[in-house]
Amino acid sequence: MYLWPVAILVLLVDQLSKWWVVTTLVSGESLSLPGGFLFLTLVHNRGAAFGILQGKSNVFIVCAVLVVAGLILYSAFYHISRQAQLLTGLLVGGALGNFIDRIRLGYVIDFLDLRWWPVFNLADVAIVCGGILLALYFFREERDKSDHASS
């Protein structure tokens, strides 16, 4: 099963990157990376994506538990391909990364700053990429099933 190795790798990279940023920058401080395309800006996000729903950490904790449990149960009871397992691992690892921040700190550590988009972190990247790619994967699977059924 590929879900757990991917989830653990995402979780470790996410937590190590957050640890490095917290030990390197103070809240609100920004560091330009070479090329000026990406900045590291330490932000304590007490809300959801884009800073909405500030102070509602308990809602996000419950949502993370439900999503992670649902994905784990789904992968345990249904035979899913390696590709779906990898993508599910991205979602689980990302959700756990932000979940740990909320439980431990009461907020999520964000630090990737494009200047034209809200500041985010590697767990967010894993969640968004995993979610989009998993949706596309299932869409393609359904399309292939309907193509074979009509043949």
Contact 32, 39 (CB under 8 A): yes
How much is the pLDDT for 44? 94
Choice among 7-11, 17-21, 27-31, 147-151 with the minimum mean pLDDT: 147-151
pLDDT score of 1: 76
- Please state, for a pLDDT cut of 70, what percent of the chain lies above it: 90
By annotation, the residues acting in catalysis are 110, 124
pTM: 0.86
The whole-number average pLDDT for the span 120-144 is: 92
Highest mean pLDDT among 37-41, 65-69, 138-142: 37-41
The domains of the chain are located at 3-19+53-140
The contacts found for 29-33 with CB under 8 angstroms, 24 or more apart, are 30/113
**Higher-pLDDT residue of 141, 127:** 127
pLDDT band of residue 54 (cuts 50, 70, 90) is: low
